[in-house]
Structure 1
Amino acid sequence: MVWDRSPQMSYHRPKFGSGMNERTAEQVPMIDIDADDVNRNDVAFYNQRSRIVHADAEEKMILLFDYRGKEKGEECIHWKHLKALKDGNKWGVLRHPMVLHFVNERLVESAVFYLAHIVAFFFFLLLLSSHIFDKDTCKDVLVTLFVIVFLFFMMIKGAIKARISKSISLWFVIAYTFNILTLIGTLAYVWLPHLFEYDDFHQEVKTIILWALPIIAVMSAWINFLYILRKSPYGIYIFMMVRILKSFGHIATIWIPTLISFSFAFHLILRDSGVEPWESSDTYKNATMLHKLFVVLQAVTKTSTMMIGEVDADNILGTRQWIPSILVLIFEIITVILLMNLMVSLAVGDVNDLRNTSQDKILRIKLNFVIEALQLSEAVGTSFCTNPTNNMLIVDFGGGYFSKMDESINRVFDERRESIAGQGSPANLGFGKMTNPSSTSDLVFHVAFSKERLRMRMCRRPVLGRSQNVHVDGCTLNLIEAPESGIPEHKSSFAVPDDESGCLRKAKQWLIGLDWHAYLELY
C-alpha cells in the first residue's frame, strides 16, 4: 500500500490489534484529511463518522463512532458545536446517535458532581426545616456555610455565562435572580433575629418579617431541590407537575370566577348563621379594613376547600333554610362534579402527552448541563470532562446499553478517509470487508399503523424466490425515520463484545445517563 505524504496529512502510531502488521499501523493517517469536516450542523457529517452493526441474534445494535479531531488528542465535537446546534434548533442533528453518545459520556463523567449537588441541597433543605423548630448557633453557622458555597458557585456560573455567551436568555436571568434573592433571604432569616434583639421598636413589623422569611427560605429550597432533580431518573414526574400547573393556569379563567362567585354567595347567606368561618354582620361592620380583607380571604379559602370535595354540608344544612340548601346543591353540580372532573381529564391528557414528549425536554436540560460543565472545565483549566469518548456503543433491544473504547475501530473510518483523499478504493485491513458507504447509507423507517386492531405479516425472505405483495386495506401507514437511517452499515462479521462496565459506571448511567431506548425511537 502506498501512502501519499502530502502537506495536509500527518501520521501517528495508534495501538491496533494484532491482526494488523507493523508497517500498516505506522502509516494510518490522522483525521485532518477529512473533507466532511466543513459543516457540523448537517446530519451527513455525523453519518459519515458512524457505522452500524445489526446483531439480530443477540438482539443488540452496535454503533461505531469516529470522534478524532484534526489535532492529536482533540475530538470533533466541542461544547461550541453543541451550543451552535442548540441555538439553531438543530434537534434532528442533536438526536443523532453520535451526538447523543457524546452527550451521554459527558453526563456519566459528571454524575459524581451531580450526586454531590443533590446530596448537598437535600441536607440543606433538611437543615432549614430543622432550624425552624430548634434554633442554635451551630445550625446558624451551617446554614450560612451552605449559602456561601451556593452563592460562590452561582457567581462562577454567572461570570462564565456572561463571558462566553453572546446573549443570555430571559429565563436564565429570572432563575438566576430568583436563586440569588432566595439565598440572601435565607441569610436574613438566620441572622435578622439576632439583629432585632438589640431594640424593641416596630415589634409588629419584625414579627411579620420573622414569620415570612422562614416560609420563603424553605419553599425556595424545596423549589430548587425539585429543579435539580429534573435531570434524575425521576425528572419526568417533575415535568408532569409543571405541565399540570400550566393546564391549571389555562382553566383558571373558569375556576377563579366560579370560586369568587360562590365565596361571596355563601358569605352573604351564611354570615349571620353562626357557621364558621362566616362571621356576623355586626362584627364585620366594626372591623378594620385589614380584618375585612381577612374575612374575605377566609370565605374564599373555605369555598376552595369545598370545591375539592370537602363540602362540609352538615353545618350548612343545619341552618334549615331553603336558599343555603339549594345553593349547596348547585355548587356541588357545577364545581365538584363538572369543574373538578374537567380538571382531572385535562391532567390525564397532559400526562399522556408528556410521556411522549418528556425525553425531548429532558434532552434539552441535560444538554444545557453538559454545555455548562464543559464551559466550566475549560474556564478553570481542569482535566474534568477530558477523557476520550468511547467509540463503541452497544444497545440491546430491551433498552440497556454499555460503551467501550476500541482503537482498532479507527481502521474502518481510515478506509473512508483514504477514499475521500483520492487514494483509491478502500482496502481490507483485516477488519472485514467494508463496502462503499454511499451504497449502504439507506433510509430506514419504522412502520406504525394509525388505526388499532390491524395486523400486517411480512416474510423476511420471498418463498421460492417469488416476490411477496402485501395489501393492507382501511389503514394508513405512518413511516417514522429510524435512528440508523442514513448511517452506513458495517457488513463485516463482528463479535458482540461483553459488558465490562463496573457497578459504579452503571450507577452513574442510571442516575443521569440518557434513556437510549426512548431516544432511538424518537430520532
Structure 2
Amino acid sequence: MTDLKDQEGIPLSNMPGGSTDLTLEFCHARSRVQHLDQEERMIFYFDYRKDSTSESSGECIDWRSLRRLKVQNKWGVLRHPYILNYINERLIDCAIFYTMHIIAFFLFLLLLSWHIFSRTIFKDWLVTIFVAVFSIFMLTKGSVKARISRSVSFWFVVAYVFNLLTYAATLAYVWLPTIFSFDDYHQQVKNIVLWFLPIIAIISAWMNFLYILRKSPYGIYIFMMVRILRSFGHIATIWIPTLIAFSFAFHLIMRDSGIEPWIKVDNDPNSTFVEKLFVILQAVTKTSTMMIGEVDANDILGTKQWIPSILVLAFEIITVILLMNLMVSLAVGDVSDLRNSAQDKLLRIKVNYIIEALQLSENIDISLCRLHEKQTNNILVVDSTGHYYTTHGTLPDFSATASRPKSPYADILDEYSNRSYQLTFVDPGMRVRVAPLIGRNRGVLFKNISARLIETAESGIAELTGPNTSQAPYEEPSYCLQFKQWIIGFDMKAFLDL
C-alpha cells in the first residue's frame, strides 16, 4: 500500500479517481500547518500542483472535482482548509464582478421605483436595456449549464422560469401602455393589467436583489427571513383557522352597524359575487391587523353589548397574547439555530457559485475572464482574530513534519473512533479548578452534562517543524483586498474554529 507521503510525487491523474477524486487523505497529504504560538498565528501550506515535480502541470482542483464532492455530499472534505482556500481564492477573484452584480440590481430596483412614479421614454429604454443585459447573462448561464450538466436541478429550472416570467412582465409593464394607447377597446381590462404589472415587476426585482445578497455578509439575515417564513408556514394551520373564525364572528356582530369594513354583504342587491368576496376580504384583513396588536376595537366596544366585549377579550387572549407570542418564540429559536448552521449554508451557496463561475470561465472565451486559469495562492496565514491573507511562494519541505509519540491507547481509539466524540458526565460529575491570573482559585462542578467533541479543521494536517519553516511574514492586506474578503470571502475564523 502506498504511503500518503509517497503520493505527493505521484501525478494526480494517475491516482485513483483521476483529477476529481479529492479525499481527506489526499488533502492532508498536500497540506502542512505551522503554529506560531508567540505570534498567535497559523500558517498553512498547500500544494495545488497536479504533479508535485512540475511547476507547469496545472492545478489539481477544478469545477468538476468540486461538483463531484457536492453531488456526493462530501461537505467534510469541502470544509478542509486545502479546498476552502481554493474556493476562497476564486471567490475573491469574483468579488469585483459580484459587487457590480449587486450594484446593477440595486440600480434596477431604484429605476423601477422611479419609473413607477414618473415615466418617460428615456426611462422606458433604460429599463429595457437593463432587462436585455440581465436576460443575455441568464441565457448564457442557462446554455452553458445545459451543455455541461447531465441533469439540471428542479430549483434551477424554477428560478430560471421565474426570472424569465418576471423579465417578460417588466417589459410588458414598460411597453404595454404605448401599445394600448392605439385603441380604446376593453379599457377596464387594460387598466387592471397596467395596475397589476408594476406590482409584479417591483416585487420580483426586490426578490432577485435579496437572492443575490445571499452570498454577501448580509446573507445570514436573508436566511433568517426564509427560516421564519417556513416556521410561519408550519404554524399557519393554527393561525389561518383562528383568523377566519374571528373574522366571521366580528362580521356577524357588526354587520348591521354600517361601519367599514363590517358592512353587510347583502345590503346592495345589485352587488356582484366579486364585490361580496371583497367585503369578506376586508373583514379578514382588518382582523389580521388586529391580531398583530393593533386591536383598535373602539367600534366593537361602542356597541355596548356583552357578547362583543367578551369576544374582543377572548380574541386578545387567544391571538395577541398566546398565538403571537408563540410565533415570536419560534422565530427566536429559529434564529438561534440558524446562527449555528449559517456557515454551512453559506458554504453550499458559495460552492455552487464558484462551480458556475468556473464553468462560465472555461466555456466562454474572454481574455479578461480566465478564472479557471488563475494561480491559487498556496500559503494561508490566519491569526487568532480571524484576519487572514494569502500569498504565493516556495513551499517548504513537506517531509519535515513533527514526530509524535504513539499513544498506548491509539489502537483502541482507532477501533472506537466513531464513539470517542461524545462525552457524558453524570453523578458525581466533573470538577474543574479555575486558576485566574488575578484573584483566588475557584472550583467549578459540571454535573449531568453531555459534551460533543468536534474535530478541528487542521487536526489531520501534519505540522511542520524545524528552523526557517516560516516563509510568510505578516503583511497588512490592502483596502481593496479587505473589501473583497468582506463582500464575498469566507469567515476563516468560523471555518477553522479559531
Say yes or no: TM over 0.5. yes
Bigger mean CA deviation after superposition, 67-76 or 94-103: 67-76
Which residue of the partner structure matches residue 60 of structure 1? 41
- In the alignment, what sits opposite 1:512? 488
Equivalent in the alignment of 1:290 = 274
Cα shift readout 1:417-446 (whole Å, capped 9, x = no counterpart): xxxxxxxxxxxxxxxx44579989999999
Distance 1:438 1:511, change over 3 A: farther
Alignment of 1:176-255 (within 5 A): 176-255=160-239
> Alpha-carbon deviation of 1:334?
0.5
Between 1:102-111 and 1:263-272, the stretch displaced more is 263-272
Residue by residue, what CA displacement relative to the aligned partner does 1:28-75 show, whole Å, maximum 9, x if unpaired?
A: x99555698335342101000000111111111111110011372510
2:305 maps to 1:321 = yes
Q: Aligned partners of 2:137, 2:264: CA distance in 1, in Å?
A: 55
Q: 2:136 matched to 1:152?
A: yes
The equivalent residue for 2:459 is 485
Alpha carbons 1:402, 1:501 under 8 Å: kept = yes
- Distance in 2, matches of 1:354 and 1:300, equals 33
Task: Report the Cα offset of residue 259 of structure 1.
Answer: 0.6
Residue 405 (structure 1) aligns with = 392
One-letter amino acid of the counterpart of residue 382, structure 2: V
Distance 2:116 2:122 in 1: 13
Which letter maps to 2:199?
I
Question: What pairs with 1:439-478 in structure 2 (closer than 5 Å)?
Answer: 456=432, 474-478=448-452
The AA in structure 2 aligned to 1:242 is: V
How far 1:477 sits from its partner (Å)?
3.5
- How far is 1:511 from its partner? 0.6
Deviations 1:156-180 (A, max 9, x none): 0000110001111100000010001
Distance 1:455 1:192, change over 3 A: farther
Structure-1 residue corresponding to 2:370: 384
- 2:42 is matched by which residue type in structure 1? M
Q: 1:292 to 1:63 in 2, by over 3 A?
A: same
Structure 1 residues 327 and 406, CA, compared in 2 at 3 Å: closer, same or farther?
Answer: same
Aligned to 2:16: 38
| Aligned equivalents of 1:132, 1:449: Cα separation in 2 | 62
CA distance in 2, matches of 1:439, 1:77: 33
Q: 2:311, 2:446 → 1: CA distance?
A: 58
Larger CA deviation: 513-522 vs 32-41: 32-41
CA distance in 2, matches of 1:438, 1:161: 51
The 3-state SS of whatever aligns with 2:497 is helix
Residue 454 (structure 1) shift: 7.5
The aligned amino acid for 1:339 is L
CA contact (8 A) 1:160 1:375 kept: yes
- Partner in structure 2 of residue 8 of structure 1: none
Rate the CA distance shift 1:435–1:398 in 2: closer, same or farther, 3 A.
closer
SS of equivalent to 2:382? strand
Q: CA deviation at 1:313?
A: 1.4
Percent sequence identity over aligned pairs: 58
CA distance in 2, matches of 1:169, 1:35: 29
User: Secondary structure of the equivalent of 1:484?
Assistant: coil
* TM-score (norm: length of structure 1): 0.83
**Which one of 141, 145, 148 corresponds to residue 161 of structure 1?**
145
Distance in 2 between residues matched to 1:59 and 1:500, nearest whole Å: 16
What is the CA distance between 1:398 and its match in structure 2? 1.3
Which stretch of the first structure deviates more once superposed, 279-288 or 476-485?
279-288
The secondary structure found in structure 2 opposite 1:61 is strand
CA distance in 2, matches of 1:128, 1:136: 12
Structure 2 distance, partners of 1:180, 1:374, is 24
1:362 aligned residue (327, 330, 346) = 346
Q: What residue number does 2:4 align with?
A: none
How far residue 202 of structure 1 moved from its aligned partner, in angstroms, is: 0.5
Deviation readout 1:249-291 (Å, 9 max, x if unpaired)? 0000000011111111111110111222111355254421010
CA displacement at 1:484 relative to structure 2 = 1.4
| Gap change, CA 1:212 and 1:500, over 3 Å in 2 | same
Is the alpha carbon distance of 1:455 and 1:394 closer, same or farther for their aligned partners in structure 2, counting shifts above 3 Å? farther
- The CA distance in 2 between the partners of 1:185 and 1:235, in whole Å, is 27
Q: Distance in 2 between matches of 1:181 and 1:300?
A: 30
Runs of 5+ in structure 1 lacking a partner? 1-28, 416-432, 460-469
Deviation for aligned residue 1:458: 9.4
**Aligned residue for 2:440?**
none
The separation in 2 between residues aligned to 1:438 and 1:231, in whole angstroms, is 44
Counterpart position of 2:28: 47
Render the CA deviation track for 1:124-144: whole Å, top value 9, x for unaligned.
Answer: 000000000000000000000
User: Partner letter of residue 152 of structure 2?
Assistant: I
Specify the alignment match of 2:358 in structure 1: 374
Residues of 1 paired with 2:95 and 2:13: CA distance? 36
Aligned pair 1:347/2:331, yes or no? yes
Measure how far apart 1:449 and its partner are.
8.7
CA contact (8 A) 1:272 1:281 kept: no
